[in-house]
Structure formats: C-alpha cells, structure tokens
C-alpha cells in the first residue's frame, strides 16, 4: 500500500518544524501550511547560513547570525498565501537577496549584512519607477508582494 502522504517535501516538514520551534524570532510565524513557499525560503536561508564560505576570487558568501535572523523575521511576517517559492541567494560581503517571480513581474528583497532591507518592484526585468522601498515594517514588503500578485498592476 502506498501511504497517502509519502512525498519527500511533506515527510521533511516535521524536521523543519522541530528546529523552527526553537527559534523565538519566528515564534509568531505565519503558518507553513498556509504559506508553503515559506518552508522553501527558510530552508534556503538555513543552507546559506550553514554552507556560506569565503571563496577568494569569488566572494565572501558567509552571512551573520543577525542577518539570517532579520531575514527569517521578515519572511515569517508575510501573511500572503499563493506565492511561489522565492530564490534565496547570497550576496558577496554578507548580504542576502530573495526574489519572488510571477510572469514578467518580480519582487526582490535585498538585505544588507547590518540588517537594512530594501525591496524592489521589477517588471520586464527593469526596476519600476519609484519601485525601491526601504523595508522598515513587514507591511511594506507585503505591499510589494500584493503588487506582484495583482494582474491589474
């Protein structure tokens, strides 16, 4: 008999849930079952945090604990379902970038090593006019993502 819930992704969620419970910064996190993209995003952040290294000739891909924590807090505060999993990439020098894509639109969240964050609205591979915003509250990031999901914009 084939178990009903036998996919890798679902069998891995409990492992994630166990370490997520140990992180006070995402204690009030959006539920992963409501936002499946969050699981992928947090896992990618974790991988970069663990595997980032200084590679002479390429860059310093290590990220600080506080940078990863800031990203986790921001991601976990987004209460928007229906997003595809973003691509989380290291930025040389200790930063991170998170990119959500939908058709010809993207939202890019750029987080500096010190924790400062900027979000960009991107359409047809170009930053839209006045599309860069300092992210000081989770609401600002959600506003960008809502723009991406809205077919009228």
Partner 1 sequence: MPPASDDASISGDSVVLRVLHPKWVTTKGGRERPTSDSLLDSNYENSCFLEGEISLAELQVLFIGRKIARIPVSLLRAEGFWLERRPGEAPDGCTRPSSHLVCGPPDAPVRGIYEAKARRIVRALGIEILPGLPRPDPEVLEQANPNQE
Which of 24, 57, 103, 151 is close enough to bind partner 1 by CB under 8 A? Answer: 57
Q: Which stretch binds partner 1 (CB under 8 A): 2-10, 27-35, 123-131, 141-149?
A: 123-131
Answer whether 138's CB lies under 8 Å from 78's CB: yes
Among 26, 62, 95, 141, binds partner 1 (CB under 8 A): 95
Give the Cα separation of 6 and 122 in Å (integer): 37
Residue 59 in contact with partner 1, rule: CB under 8 A? yes
Separation of CA 116 from chain center:
15
Distance CA 26, CA 95 (A): 20
Which residue among 56, 65, 151, 152 contacts partner 1 (CB under 8 A)?
Answer: 56
9 phi/psi in degrees, rounded to 5: -60, -40
Q: If binding means CB under 8 A, how many residues of this protein chain bind partner 1? A: 27
Q: Using alpha carbons, list the distances in angstroms from residue 67 to 47, 70, 81, 105.
A: 14, 5, 24, 26
User: Least CB distance from residue 67 to partner 1, whole Å?
Assistant: 10
Q: How far apart are CA 83 and CA 146, in angstroms?
A: 10
Please give the residues from 75 up to 94 whose contact with partner 1 meets the rule CB under 8 A.
Answer: 87-94
Least distance CB 153 / partner 1 (angstroms): 20
Residues at the contact surface with partner 1, assessed by CB under 8 A: 55-59, 61, 87-95, 97, 108, 110, 112-113, 116, 118, 120, 125-127, 132
């Amino acid at each position: 008999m084939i178990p009903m819930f036998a996919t890798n992704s679902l069998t891995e969620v409990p492992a994630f849930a166990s370490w997520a419970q140990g992180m006070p910064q995402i204690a009030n996190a959006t539920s992963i079952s409501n936002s499946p993209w969050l699981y992928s995003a947090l896992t990618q952040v974790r991988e970069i945090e663990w595997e980032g290294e200084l590679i002479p000739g390429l860059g310093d891909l290590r990220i600080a604990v506080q940078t990863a924590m800031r990203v986790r807090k921001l991601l976990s505060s987004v209460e928007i379902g229906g997003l595809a999993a973003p691509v989380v990439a290291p930025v040389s020098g200790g930063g991170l970038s998170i990119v959500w894509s939908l058709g010809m639109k993207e939202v890019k969240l750029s987080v500096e090593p010190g924790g400062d964050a900027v979000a960009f609205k991107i359409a047809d591979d170009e930053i839209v006019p006045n599309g860069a915003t300092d992210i000081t509250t989770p609401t600002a990031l959600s506003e960008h993502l809502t723009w991406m999901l809205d077919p009228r914009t």
